[in-house]
Amino acid sequence: METLLSICIGIGLSAACGFRIFVPPLVMSMASIFGHLTLSPNFAWMGSYTAMVAFAVATCIEIAAYYIPWVDNLLDAVATPMAMAAGTIVTASVIPDADPMLQWTVALIAGGGSAGTIQAFTGIGRLASTVMTGGLGNALLSTIESGSSIILSGLAIALPVVAVCLVAVLLVFTLSKLGRNLALKRERQEAILSSRDNFTI
């Protein structure tokens, strides 16, 4: 039961990495220091004051950077693999005394997959906002993302089962949107090819 709750905590935190990479590690560090979260022995360093300060600085820089026009889009270009890595590490760090194969398999699939999926969706949303508003709407989107990361991180530690249910809803919604976008893109490409063939004829 303890391992299952730990996995739920990891999934919630990893999904929060999809919104902001450094917010979940900061929340984890604070929770560990104040005795609300038990970290895996190999990741005990995350529960130190040094790590908390480092995560706090990185969080402030990351959040501020997303308010700079066009820089936010550049960050999205590299954020997906970083979010997947962060999600994997975050999930592994909260699964105590587990078989390493189980620990890293769950961390990679559930943690990295959740973080990467949500980050990809936020990247698409920011690109759409940039095109439709010329970047003016990106600040609001960044605020929503930062708030979502903070709330989901706290929820993952306080109410892990509720957090997992919320993540499941987010993933279903995200995957459906991504699938719809891919289908539309395929239809447009087919329409372009068809028009070219007709023109050639």
Nearest Cα to 85, choosing from 173, 22, 4?
Answer: 22
Quote the CA–CA distance of 162 and 5 in Å, as a whole number. 11
Nearest Cα to 6, choosing from 82, 106, 150?
Answer: 106
Cβ distance 36 to 47 under 8 Å? no
pLDDT confidence of residue 60: 96
pLDDT, averaged per 10 consecutive residues of the chain (201 residues), comes to 85 94 96 93 93 97 89 82 93 83 88 90 83 82 94 94 91 80 73 62 55
pLDDT confidence of residue 76: 81
